[in-house]
Amino acid sequence: MMGTGKTETGKLLASALRRRLVDTDELLCVRAGLTVTEIFHQHGETHFRRLEREVVQALARENGLVIATGGGVVLNPENVVLLRERGFLVWLQAEAEVLAERLQGDTSRPLLGGEKDLAALLAAREPLYLSAAHARVDTTGKTPLQAAEEIISLLAER
């Protein structure tokens, strides 16, 4: 989910594990030559999700990556199957109020229309995150470093 700290936590995790971090939204934007907002406005969410699926398919063929996905990656069951088969999925979770605070003033989120919309989006996606993830880390009140350390502990327990 947006605002949970996926990118910052991913950077710290990749560094600690000596792995390469790939942010699916960043890779998608490089391939499209547009920002996420531009893709949504010019081509719509369906087009964005198709591009996202292509990026996930490409990354699923690689080894040794830390992947930070966009929050909507779970909307396509094919993405979930590919990512679960090839890796260890961690759902970074935070309370809706915390997410709203973290995302305040962020205009780069095309699906974000306010705290009410965020709560509805979270409620709709939570079951998908729960079923997709191998583990869950609550980032409420945690720094990205603390979240990364918790993930490292989870990986060590596997």
Please tell me the predicted confidence (pLDDT) of residue 110.
52
Alpha-carbon gap, residue 142 to 14, rounded angstroms: 18
Domain membership flag for residue 116: yes
Residues 66-105: tens digit of each pLDDT: 999 988 999 999 999 999 999 999 999 988 788 777 777 6
Please tell me the predicted confidence (pLDDT) of residue 51.
97
Answer left, alpha or beta for residue 91, where phi above 0 means left and psi between -120 and 50 means alpha.
beta
Strand 135-138 and strand 90-93: the pairing is parallel
> What is the length of the chain?
158
Q: 28: how many CB neighbours lie within 10 A of its CB? A: 20
Q: Is residue 68 within 8 Å of 52, Cβ to Cβ?
A: no
Q: 101: how many CB neighbours lie within 10 A of its CB? A: 12
Locus of tokens 């919309």: 117
Residues 9-48: tens digit of each pLDDT: 999 999 999 999 999 999 999 999 999 999 999 999 999 9
Q: Where residue 30 sits, what CATH number does that domain have?
A: 3.40.50.300
Domain membership flag for residue 85: yes
Q: Which residues pair with 93 in a beta bridge?
A: 138
Show the DSSP H helices in the chain as ranges: 6-17, 24-32, 36-43, 45-60, 77-86, 96-103, 115-132, 144-157
Please tell me the predicted confidence (pLDDT) of residue 113.
54
**Domains identified in the chain, total number:** 1
Domain membership flag for residue 41: yes
Please tell me the predicted confidence (pLDDT) of residue 3.
77
* Domain coverage including residue 153: 6-157
Domain membership flag for residue 1: no
Arithmetic mean of pLDDT, 96-123: 68
Q: Which two tokens stand for residue 98?
A: 């915390």
